[in-house]
Amino acid sequence: MPDGLRKESAPVRLLDLHPPRGDFRAEVLQGLTDSPKMISPKYFYDERGSHLFDKITRLPEYYPTRTELAIMDSRMTEIASLVGPDACIIEFGSGSGLKTRRLIEGLDSAVAYVPVEISREHLLMSAQVLADQFPGLEVLPVCADFTQAFELPTPARQAARNLVYFPGSTIGNFTDPEALELLEVMHAEAGPSGALLIGVDLRKDRQLLEKAYNDDAGVTAEFNLNLLRRINRELGAEFELEDFEHRAVWDPREGRIEMRLKCLTEQSVDVSGTRIPFAAGEDIVTEYSRKYEPAEFAALARAAGFLPVRMWTDEASLFSMHYLERD
């Protein structure tokens, strides 16, 4: 289309269901007084954290993104045939948009795109980029914690079906009971005749897994430590970042990588007016990254009310994509 005739995108309209800051404070304090100490990985994604994660996805050690993209490239015609025309895409999380763009381009006349993300700034930026790239597509961002049921905006054009999209194997960040609850939320948001397209990382060699979360450039370490920087900025905490060290180790019993921040010295830290004691060598668990056998994930999805329809993997069986429908 000539530039002079190109349709201009409209500014995106945000549905803001963002939880109040008090929830962030309460969850951080609860997690830091638990044993072991824990902070939810959903709080990684302030604006800086989102940019750092985008950088991680381009690292040579980090195989999931390029492998998932390769699966999409080779299977997009089949995916589009299963989804059908006039779908509304509901993406849980909003990343760099590369995989989302390929999905929108590959589907038959998607009517709307609804990204759901807790980081308002990153959500608005990525939503506007996609709106500019697809001026005929209605983009309806929702700022919310997608682990809880949320309100869906209504597209101007009626969709033939909702397609929940959850790329990148973020499902692995949850314990099995938590993952089941999240899949149940997805089942509800998909609605009647809805479907789910989801990325799931697979079990593989320990060395390959640990390398993916301990990159030579130190970007994952910076991403992990940025969580403490965010807590300092938003909750008035007093973490000294040099007193903590990034660690990522494989737990074969649980089938997951565990990402941690190790405290290097005995100390106490003020977090929003509460003193939190730390022993030397004590960890804050910041992320689980569960790796599934295909049958394990299929059983979990069935328990949430989904019917597994198709699964695709790369030749080395590093990663998988699953298409499921409401049963």
- pLDDT class of 4 with cuts at 50, 70, 90: very low
80 within some domain: yes
pLDDT at 277 over 50: yes
Cα separation, 125 vs 197, in Å, equals: 24
pLDDT at 2 over 50: no
**Count: domains in the chain:** 1
Residue 308, pLDDT score: 98
Mean pLDDT across 194-218: 97
Residue 166, pLDDT score: 97
Average pLDDT taken over every residue of the chain: 93
Q: What length is written for the chain?
A: 327
Domain that holds residue 302: 10-17+56-204+291-326
267 within some domain: no
224 within some domain: no
- What CATH number did the domain enclosing 155 receive? 3.40.50.150
- pLDDT class of 5 with cuts at 50, 70, 90: very low
Residue 20, pLDDT score: 66
266 within some domain: no
Cα separation, 218 vs 52, in Å, equals: 11
Residue 50, pLDDT score: 84
Helix (H, G, I), strand (E, B) or coil at 119: coil
168 within some domain: yes
319 within some domain: yes
Q: What burial class does residue 95 get, using C-beta atoms within 10 Å of its C-beta: 0-12 exposed, 13-18 middle, 19+ buried?
A: buried
Residue 10, pLDDT score: 62
In eight-state DSSP terms, residue 10 is: P
- Dump pLDDT digits (tens) for 53-110: 989 999 999 999 999 999 999 999 999 999 999 999 999 987 557 899 999 999 999 9
245 within some domain: no
- Alpha-carbon torsion 189, 191, 197, 199, what sign? positive
CB-based contacts of 34, cutoff 8 Å, min separation 6: none
149 within some domain: yes
Q: Which of 92, 116, 96 is nearest to 174 (CA)?
A: 92
Show the DSSP H helices in the chain as ranges. 21-33, 47-56, 63-83, 98-106, 120-133, 176-190, 206-212, 219-235, 294-303
| Percent of the chain whose pLDDT exceeds 70 | 95
Residue 6, pLDDT score: 45
Cα separation, 138 vs 295, in Å, equals: 36
- pLDDT class of 119 with cuts at 50, 70, 90: confident
- pLDDT class of 3 with cuts at 50, 70, 90: very low
